Structure 1
Amino acid sequence: MEIVITTNLKRGQVGMKKYKLTDNISFLASVMRQASKASFVFVLLRIPLEVIIPYIGIWFPNLIVRAIGESVNRTHLFTQAAILGGLLVVLSLVNQYGKGIVSAESAYVRMKLTDMLNDHLMDCSYDMLGDKKVMQSLSQASQRIWSNTGFLVNAGENTVAFFSAVAGVVVYLAVLSKLPFWVILLLIAATVVSFLTSGFGEKIRQKRNDYFGENVSRLLELSSEMSDAAKGKDVRLYQMHPWVNHYYNIYNKKLNREYGHIAKWNFISDSIGTVLSFAADAVVYLCLTAFAMQGKITIAEYVLYIGAATGFTAWVRQVTGLLQRVWKVNGDLSCVRTFLDTDSREEEQGQSIPSGGWVCAADVLKKGDPCEVEFDRVSYRYPNNEKDTLKELSFKIKAGEKIGLVGMNGAGKSTLIKLLCGLIRPTSGHIRINGVDITSMERTECYKLFSTVFQDLHIFPVSIKDNIVWDGQVDEAYFAQCLEQADLAEWVSSLKEKENTKLVQELEEGAVNLSGGQSQKLLLARALYKNAPILLLDEPTAALDPIAESNIYEKYNQLSAHKTSIFISHRLASTRFCDRIFLMEDGRIAEEGTHEELLKKAGSYAKMFEVQRQYYV
């Protein structure tokens, strides 16, 4: 029986590809092998062992009964029994040891799948983070991986259990093959019907995957509203928790209703399988007893067939019991692969590897350091938007020049920065660094050219040193110099754990939280340590007062000597030290010049500066 799941490959499109159950099993096997080769080897080894060990068990009584009936020599009988018993002990020990390995490493598969999601997310262009359907696909995949009720909780053990049960059904059916054909046909029919009726509920769940994903995402978002420190202030001061609880209960009831529907059909599936199993058992036992009484089979054969029939039934029950999990993991893996098969932005635009191969950052720097930057008729439109955010934008920045980028919210300043450093690609036009088009560079190589500080300050819950140095290769002397230049050295030295002090108190016991100014200095130290040829500051001081912001920008100015730099700010006075200032309006550069030149023009820049001076000067 072929089970297929329709999935989403292109952004915002559904039903582009179908995953077979066999393909998902092959995919899971590959993941298990990558997650732990030792565990994977024992999974493969234990599948036959799980069948062989009980198989020896049903032959043992047959051997004894036959020996008694045929008056076999005791020594010969004891020798056979000892060999079988010793083999059984050895195989059982190996199986038990393998079970310990597989169980101990059970989390590795889920961790590997999560790594694959993260790797693919990092391989996708930045603008995909704003695509609701793509992010919902990622959220659903993560939820499926870390659900504690599915196949993936212990993928190794469940794989052994399922495939050993399938093998057991085949082997034990072969043992019973000497029975009348109609008895075999009855057992096969009961098995097939159990297979076809298994997992009704999980099949319904797969068809309703989008519905479940949307409502689970809503529940998680509402839960975060209550626990998030920033949002929690409004929730408490405005007494919004009854409103949050109201919608939480609505979505929860919808999910519970669906889960109840799934549980009902799973119960029906289980009941059908159980009834068929008991009915087949009863018929087989009656037949075997009648055959033995009629002398058609010996007592030894009767003992063997009874054991085989009992074992066959146990294997069938194990298969049908696990089929629900198999159907569920089929849906889970299809959900994971849906995200993994989502095309990146460049692939959708049909970009291919340049004929001369990818250009490295080192090749760009050979043409000059600091770097020259050029935008040549660059336009950019965000996915699902009807208008371009940037429109035919053209300018050149000389090597080592400092540019101030100012303008109202929505003018396109942040979009320009994202385009320049390769987070997103132009809809049309060309961006060149030292004459090299950045589309001829892989994203990771392009990133090497930039030290950046963005307006959303994110401090990670690791040590101060790890927040600054990410590649693990620490130049201690240069690290100390960066702390000194960022005015952090004295504060860091006053801490008990020095640069190894953990940050983000809410997540790490004994950690410290940084003030806004300290966060700015930490990110300055990170940018200094990277020491890239182009420095980009995208309103990192928006939350600071004007004086503090001006001081921070002056600090960046002092430390960015011999670097091409772009400074973005709402406050025009903060960028007056720049060589040139670009005023952006509606996706274009409306005015350009030094601070003094722009004031003399008495245009939009001068008017904005005059308005701001009343508040900040």
Structure 2
Amino acid sequence: MSEKKKRLNLAAVIAALKMIQKLSRRFIPTMLFSAMLDAVKPFIPIVLSAKILDELMGAKDIPTLTTLAALLVGLMLVLHIIGAFSTKLYSDQKMLLVTRYYEEFSKKTMKLDYEQIENPDTMDLRRMIQETENNHMAVWDMAEYLLKGFMAIFEMVIASVLIVTTFATGNAASSGAEGSIVQSPFAFVALAVLLVLGVLIYNNVQARIAKTAEDDVNNNLDSNRNFGYLFFRISYNYECGKDIRLYQAQHMLKEKIDDYVGPDIQVSVNEFVKPNIKHFSILAAVNAVLLTAVYLFIVLKAYIGAITVGSIFIQINAIMRFYQAIAALIQQYTMFKVSSEYFGLSIRFFGLPETTQHGSKHIRLERNQDYVFEFHDVSFHYPNSEAQVLEHVNLTLRKGERLAVVGMNGAGKTTLIKLLCRFYQPTAGVITCNGVNIQEFDYNDYIDLFSVVFQDFTLFSFALDQNIAASEHPDKARLEQSMRTAGLDALVSELNGDYTVPLGKQFDENGRDFSGGEKQKIAIARALYKDAPVVVLDEPTAALDPITEFEVYSRFNELVGEKACIFISHRLSSCRFCHNIAVFDGGKLVQFGSHADLLNEQDGKYSELWTAQAKHYVGEEMPA
């Protein structure tokens, strides 16, 4: 945000209104009706109470007083009922707006290339959008400021009509110096000038308040992220409870909170709270001066007999309502202007280019078809980085082949899978499927070819069967077969056909916390349920005990059948199940061959890794 004074971002306002209309067509009409109703409600008791006062000071006609009182009570009751309905309707429409906005935000996220999602610029943009939402700068907050702005305008119109009407219908004033001064146009103009001056001061001060609020939001983007992590990701997360208690990390967390949150609070106090104490003091002083002037003017008019008691009541309330409405309009406009500027972040996000991976060629998924995947001199580096993660890789994978991919951490193994699954595009070279560049295939058709279990796989806090089927309508027989093949026989027997148990307690307090090994088997079962021609297992047994790991490897052929399989593991003993082994080092494919062939290359990387692991199991004496 620049330091110079900004004008209203009309492009952002138009975009916001279009989005509001798209997400909830009834929101704007409901908002306008609610604004008009809220503006009218305060003036009904003002006008009718004034009439009652005049009648009490005058004829004291009982039928008239009864009628006025009944009218006041009846209208207030009707307005209360309509107001309750209007408030409920507006709240429902606002909730609908918020819900559908997040739906659209999620849809947009899913349409972006994975490469775009992992781009640091995109992640920063999403974070800033979240922080501005936390600071009441979202599109629904803009709608709220718009509602209160329209309400202020309607109040100004009604108050103006009442002020002009009561001044025009006043009584004949008494003669004398006091009467001539109070009744002169000069007095009215002086009061009007004082009110305008007060509005100008109010506008200036509100602009300064908005500037401090804007600076506070900008300065606290990082601190709010820290606050959210320390409190919501750690302190409020029951899954962190074991480690916090076991390692007595409470004191460390408190120190972190003191280190991060304490200074940020002090910065907000110095740069937001303290300056605004002065600002709000100025506004209070201006309000006091104007209130005194209005009361003095009206009391003098009443003293000379120019207006009735009822008119005094109306004029005092109408003038103050008018002034407060102007102040509210300025305040809401200021907040609306600031939030529209921040809505530009959402415009940027929704304007990001969507997936470029829509090829035109379709793949007919046939289980018996031969699929051949080839890497042709493929190189890759991540966006905003020149460091090569993969360099000049040439590799072939065929149906029925088990390929192990091994190497040190950071060798490029998982990146290889991301390229194969089209999460990223190679920066050089091509990957083909049956001789066709994989970028030419329809993306949805293409990814149907793969069942992948990543090392950092994700399970959802939904029902077990929905996690495995990735659907709300799982095939029970297929589900059970996948679970048994993945080694979950005991769980199948225990659940006895009811697989709706939730994973974790995020949505259901009766949810179940599965062990790390069980979660890994569930992830494997999900890959098997999909029944894709190519299976990718990235460290599939990392969380399993040795016996269970042996059982998984013993079932390896049953797990993958005649499918092509890529197997990534740091445990080289598991590579013996594979036909070929691709050894990566520093992003380069340095060796390729069978387990036996690679061991025979004594100076090779595979032999070095194998020897380093094997010495922990054989040939070493235990220390005394």
Given that residues 367 and 434 in structure 1 are in contact (C-alpha distance below 8 angstroms), is that contact kept between their aligned partners in structure 2? Answer: no
Q: Deviations over 1:82-116 (max 9, x none)?
A: 88986665444222211123346655555444444
Q: Superposition pairs for residues 475-554 of structure 1, below 5 Å?
A: 475-495=475-495, 498-504=498-504, 508-544=508-544, 548-554=548-554
State the alpha-carbon separation in 2 of the partners of residues 616 and 545 from structure 1.
16
Given that residues 373 and 397 in structure 2 are in contact (C-alpha distance below 8 angstroms), is that contact kept between their aligned partners in structure 1? Answer: yes
Query: Is the counterpart of residue 557 in structure 1 residue 557 in structure 2?
Result: yes
Opposite residue 590 of structure 1, the aligned amino acid is V
Opposite residue 40 of structure 2, the aligned amino acid is I
Deviation at 1:543, TM superposition (A): 3.6
1:97 aligns to what? 85
State the alpha-carbon separation in 2 of the partners of residues 236 and 81 from structure 1.
66
Opposite residue 193 of structure 1, the aligned amino acid is I
Given that residues 277 and 317 in structure 1 are in contact (C-alpha distance below 8 angstroms), is that contact kept between their aligned partners in structure 2? Answer: no
Q: Deviations over 1:296-351 (max 9, x none)?
A: 6677765543342132134245446657865775576456556x35846xx7xxx8
Deviation at 1:279, TM superposition (A): 2.2
1:255 aligns to what? 264
Greater alpha carbon shift after TM alignment, 414-423 vs 267-276 = 267-276
1:84 to 1:267, Cα distance in 2 relative to 1, 3 A: same
Is the partner of 1:430 in helix, strand or coil? strand
Deviation at 1:415, TM superposition (A): 0.5
State the alpha-carbon separation in 2 of the partners of residues 417 and 432 from structure 1.
14
1:11 aligns to what? none
Q: Superposition pairs for residues 84-483 of structure 1, below 5 Å?
A: 89-103=77-91, 107-127=95-115, 134-146=122-134, 159-173=146-160, 175-176=162-163, 180-198=188-206, 200-223=208-231, 224=233, 241-261=250-270, 262-291=272-301, 304-316=314-326, 318-319=328-329, 326=336, 329=339, 333=343, 340=349, 343=352, 358-359=359-360, 362-363=362-363, 365=365, 369-440=369-440, 446-483=446-483
1:608 aligns to what? 609
Q: Superposition pairs for residues 5-84 of structure 1, below 5 Å?
A: 5=1, 20=8, 29=17, 41-60=29-48
1:304 to 1:497, Cα distance in 2 relative to 1, 3 A: farther
1:64 to 1:227, Cα distance in 2 relative to 1, 3 A: closer
Deviation at 1:524, TM superposition (A): 1.6
State the alpha-carbon separation in 2 of the partners of residues 167 and 437 from structure 1.
63
1:323 to 1:75, Cα distance in 2 relative to 1, 3 A: same
Given that residues 274 and 317 in structure 1 are in contact (C-alpha distance below 8 angstroms), is that contact kept between their aligned partners in structure 2? Answer: no
2:584 aligns to what? 584
State the alpha-carbon separation in 2 of the partners of residues 89 and 573 from structure 1.
81
Q: Deviations over 1:467-492 (max 9, x none)?
A: 11223232233223322332324423
Deviation at 1:24, TM superposition (A): 5.2
Q: Deviations over 1:277-307 (max 9, x none)?
A: 3322332333344456667667776554334
2:179 aligns to what? none
Opposite residue 255 of structure 1, the aligned amino acid is D
Given that residues 160 and 322 in structure 2 are in contact (C-alpha distance below 8 angstroms), is that contact kept between their aligned partners in structure 1? Answer: yes
State the alpha-carbon separation in 2 of the partners of residues 229 and 592 from structure 1.
46
Given that residues 370 and 562 in structure 1 are in contact (C-alpha distance below 8 angstroms), is that contact kept between their aligned partners in structure 2? Answer: no
State the alpha-carbon separation in 1 of the partners of residues 477 and 104 from structure 2.
36
State the alpha-carbon separation in 2 of the partners of residues 243 and 559 from structure 1.
45
Given that residues 200 and 265 in structure 1 are in contact (C-alpha distance below 8 angstroms), is that contact kept between their aligned partners in structure 2? Answer: no
Given that residues 405 and 581 in structure 2 are in contact (C-alpha distance below 8 angstroms), is that contact kept between their aligned partners in structure 1? Answer: yes
Given that residues 486 and 524 in structure 1 are in contact (C-alpha distance below 8 angstroms), is that contact kept between their aligned partners in structure 2? Answer: yes
State the alpha-carbon separation in 2 of the partners of residues 231 and 98 from structure 1.
44
Given that residues 110 and 146 in structure 1 are in contact (C-alpha distance below 8 angstroms), is that contact kept between their aligned partners in structure 2? Answer: no
1:210 to 1:380, Cα distance in 2 relative to 1, 3 A: farther
State the alpha-carbon separation in 2 of the partners of residues 102 and 40 from structure 1.
9
Opposite residue 163 of structure 1, the aligned amino acid is F
Opposite residue 42 of structure 2, the aligned amino acid is P
1:6 to 1:427, Cα distance in 2 relative to 1, 3 A: farther
State the alpha-carbon separation in 1 of the partners of residues 7 and 452 from structure 2.
41
1:211 to 1:299, Cα distance in 2 relative to 1, 3 A: closer
Aligned residues: 593
Given that residues 191 and 294 in structure 2 are in contact (C-alpha distance below 8 angstroms), is that contact kept between their aligned partners in structure 1? Answer: yes
State the alpha-carbon separation in 2 of the partners of residues 518 and 247 from structure 1.
34
Opposite residue 431 of structure 2, the aligned amino acid is I
Opposite residue 316 of structure 2, the aligned amino acid is I
Is the partner of 2:220 in helix, strand or coil? helix
1:56 to 1:24, Cα distance in 2 relative to 1, 3 A: farther
Q: Deviations over 1:189-224 (max 9, x none)?
A: 322331331163442242354431222323444455
Q: Deviations over 1:537-564 (max 9, x none)?
A: 1122234456644542453432323433
Is the partner of 1:576 in helix, strand or coil? helix
1:305 to 1:446, Cα distance in 2 relative to 1, 3 A: farther
Is the partner of 1:363 in helix, strand or coil? coil
User: For structure 2, which runs of at least 5 residues remain unmatched after alignment?
Assistant: 168-187, 619-624
Given that residues 418 and 424 in structure 2 are in contact (C-alpha distance below 8 angstroms), is that contact kept between their aligned partners in structure 1? Answer: yes
Deviation at 1:164, TM superposition (A): 0.5
1:434 to 1:104, Cα distance in 2 relative to 1, 3 A: same
Q: Deviations over 1:24-73 (max 9, x none)?
A: 555555565566555654323211112233344444456678999999x9
The normalised TM-score by structure 2 is 0.79
User: For structure 1, which runs of at least 5 residues remain unmatched after alignment?
Assistant: 8-14
Identity %: 27
Opposite residue 428 of structure 1, the aligned amino acid is A
Given that residues 35 and 109 in structure 1 are in contact (C-alpha distance below 8 angstroms), is that contact kept between their aligned partners in structure 2? Answer: yes
Is the partner of 1:500 in helix, strand or coil? coil
Given that residues 423 and 443 in structure 1 are in contact (C-alpha distance below 8 angstroms), is that contact kept between their aligned partners in structure 2? Answer: no
Given that residues 46 and 314 in structure 2 are in contact (C-alpha distance below 8 angstroms), is that contact kept between their aligned partners in structure 1? Answer: yes
Q: Deviations over 1:249-277 (max 9, x none)?
A: 12222211122131223333333333223
2:171 aligns to what? none
1:597 aligns to what? 597
1:256 to 1:69, Cα distance in 2 relative to 1, 3 A: closer
Given that residues 225 and 235 in structure 1 are in contact (C-alpha distance below 8 angstroms), is that contact kept between their aligned partners in structure 2? Answer: no
Opposite residue 95 of structure 1, the aligned amino acid is G
The normalised TM-score by structure 1 is 0.80
State the alpha-carbon separation in 2 of the partners of residues 445 and 574 from structure 1.
31
Given that residues 126 and 423 in structure 1 are in contact (C-alpha distance below 8 angstroms), is that contact kept between their aligned partners in structure 2? Answer: yes
State the alpha-carbon separation in 2 of the partners of residues 333 and 433 from structure 1.
43
Deviation at 1:412, TM superposition (A): 0.7
Given that residues 380 and 428 in structure 1 are in contact (C-alpha distance below 8 angstroms), is that contact kept between their aligned partners in structure 2? Answer: yes
Given that residues 12 and 340 in structure 2 are in contact (C-alpha distance below 8 angstroms), is that contact kept between their aligned partners in structure 1? Answer: yes
State the alpha-carbon separation in 2 of the partners of residues 367 and 271 from structure 1.
76
Greater alpha carbon shift after TM alignment, 434-443 vs 456-465 = 434-443
Opposite residue 165 of structure 1, the aligned amino acid is A
Is the partner of 1:592 in helix, strand or coil? strand
